[in-house]
Structure 1
Amino acid sequence: MRRGPAGWWHLLEWDLRSREVTSGAWLRGTLYPRRCDISPDGKLLGYFALGHGPSPWDTYFAVSKVPWLTALVAWHTFGTWTGGCEFAPDNGLTIWASMGVKPFHGDYPYGAVVESLDRDWIYRDLQNEYKRGWRPLAEGMAGRMPPELREAVLIARVRPGGDRALVLAHTGTDFQRHGIEGVQVSYLREEDDGHLTPLPEAAWADWDDEGRLLMATRDGVIKIIEWRSGAWTQTWSQDLRDLTPEPLPSPPWVQDW
């Protein structure tokens, strides 16, 4: 999910095997990436949106096909008081939100459950990381954090196939500053000697299943960084900064199940 210019969001599909980025939907409204989820097979997107249409399309939760926002099923939410969603391995869906139990548009063939909004906001901010295997930082590593980050909420994920960790420090929420849904995060990468290297350019970062470091930078570039010949080496990047809104009708294959 890419934001910009002001008031616009753009969805793109990033294929890590072919290293191709495919353009999808443009939305003039607001999306909430930290409260969205992608199905295990990578085909379905569950998302919250604040649009400019008449009720019930003003605030809603919907399921679409990646990388489009054409709602195959949608529920009206009572404002933006929403907590997140999660797909099960069989594509069953759980939604935590203050919203109607029954969809106002379409229906969901895999089964959906609406739960009460009882998650704390820190968990909501980090729920997608927890789903991908991030866990609270071990006490020993916490002592190696820079002093200014030791009071932050700290989580880490060990690199698949290795023993280095990527660390995320959640330092609060400030909607006046750059951050996904205003959440202020800093990333650090653990090195062989145990030193933690700050990654100040990262707006988002994570390992992929092959142990490569994926990153979206604060200035709008996505990158793949790999461990090669004893050093971290950028092996691919794509600059998304200069994209301009070009909303197009969704293709037929995303318009039904």
Structure 2
Amino acid sequence: MDKAVPARLHVLIARESRTAVVLRRGPSNLVCTMGWNLNDDSFRLGQWLKGRIYERRSDLSPDGRHMIYFAKRRSGPTNAWTAISRAPYLKAEALWFKSDSWDGGGLFTSNSSYWFNENPNNGLHRFEFDNSHLQMDPYFPGSKRLDPYIARIQRDGWKLKNVEKAEGLHVILAFDKPIDERWTLRKLLHGKVTGRPRNKDHRNRGTSFDEHLLLDGHDKAPLDLPEWEWADVDGQRLLWAEAGKLFSAQISDKGLTSVRELHDFNPMSFEPIEAPY
């Protein structure tokens, strides 16, 4: 019997407040949002969606109050859309429909403004309404037009180091974020234009996914952490997602210490929830 596929997790962290939103996916056509209080590691359920949220085109405002995301259902005349909601919920305060899954989503440039990810060459969104009281910023939040995910992680402190590998259409970009004077967290961004990743161990991760390494500044071999599908640095601790669960740990000369499981997202199942606004 095949082993059950764990929930897939991605986290959007507010860069000016101690809040985050967890995007929990699984099965493939179901996703839900969870608010995360980083002060006490408590969680509260947002809403479920029968569809897909593209985490690499989503973002959280600096104060953690709003979320912008791109979503898609399997079928229907309005099966794809970009929305702005009140985090951690999905109910749209601003909404644009789209007929395909190119582009979409965006990035926050401040608590009151956002950049909208749209390329006229890939088909335009159809505006529906905007009650968010936020302003659309025409300028991309960076020195040049990048993939929204790359722009987001660079904005949040990740530094591009190099292209790790390039096999055919499969490219891996390496980004580093220092933890302390000795340790660095490396994020490997896998991207592929078409087809599935080359490694059978990645069969459940789609064509774009992340892996991670811990680099030891004392010239020791890096610690390979291929099961960490998301990870980031939170002050003096590490946070990561693995096998449908969130973990935290401290880091010392010996490596990871005081490892804690913060939440197991695997037992969750769909339930209809109305946003409180």
Shorter-chain TM range is: 0.7 to 0.9
Per the alignment, in what secondary structure is the counterpart of residue 101 of structure 2? strand
Per the alignment, in what secondary structure is the counterpart of residue 154 of structure 2? helix
Instruction: Report the CA distance between 1:214 and its aligned residue.
Output: 0.7
Instruction: Report the CA distance between 1:16 and its aligned residue.
Output: 1.1
- Distance in 2 between the 1:239 and 1:215 partners? 12
Instruction: Report the CA distance between 1:206 and its aligned residue.
Output: 1.0
**Equivalent in the alignment of 1:152:** 172
Q: Which residues of 2 match residues 125-140 of structure 1 at below 5 A? A: 125-137=149-161
**Equivalent in the alignment of 2:92:** 71
Of all paired residues, the percent bearing the same amino acid is: 24
- Using a 3 Å threshold, how does the CA distance of structure 1 residues 90 and 65 change in structure 2: closer, same or farther? closer
Quick one: which of 44, 51, 56 aligns to 1:29? 51
In the alignment, does 2:236 pair up with 1:224? Answer: no
Deviations 1:161-195 (A, max 9, x none): 5452111223433557333x631332101125233
Q: Which residues of 2 match residues 207-246 of structure 1 at below 5 A? A: 207-208=233-234, 210-217=235-242, 219-227=243-251, 230-233=254-257, 234-246=259-271
- What root-mean-square deviation, in Å, do the aligned CA atoms of Structure 1 and Structure 2 show? 2.9
Quick one: which of 7, 18, 23 aligns to 2:40? 18
Per the alignment, in what secondary structure is the counterpart of residue 97 of structure 1? coil
Deviations 1:141-168 (A, max 9, x none): x9xx89x9xx832111112x54521112
Quick one: which of 169, 176, 179 aligns to 2:188? 169
Give 2:37's aligned amino acid.
Answer: D
Task: Indicate if the aligned counterparts of 1:135 and 1:155 stay in contact, CA closer than 8 A.
Answer: yes
Per the alignment, in what secondary structure is the counterpart of residue 219 of structure 2? coil
Gaps of 5+ in 2: 1-22, 198-202
Aligned residues: 236
Instruction: Report the CA distance between 1:136 and its aligned residue.
Output: 1.4
- Distance in 1 between the 2:137 and 2:98 partners? 14
Give 1:206's aligned amino acid.
Answer: D
Per the alignment, in what secondary structure is the counterpart of residue 201 of structure 1? coil
Task: Indicate if the aligned counterparts of 2:182 and 2:218 stay in contact, CA closer than 8 A.
Answer: no
Per the alignment, in what secondary structure is the counterpart of residue 246 of structure 1? coil
Higher helix proportion, which one? 1
Instruction: Report the CA distance between 1:27 and its aligned residue.
Output: 0.2
Deviations 1:7-64 (A, max 9, x none): 1101011111111011110000111000000000011000001136854x42111100
Task: Indicate if the aligned counterparts of 2:28 and 2:52 stay in contact, CA closer than 8 A.
Answer: no
- Distance in 1 between the 2:24 and 2:196 partners? 17
Per the alignment, in what secondary structure is the counterpart of residue 105 of structure 1? strand
Instruction: Report the CA distance between 1:100 and its aligned residue.
Output: 4.8
- Distance in 2 between the 1:83 and 1:52 partners? 16
**Equivalent in the alignment of 2:228:** 202
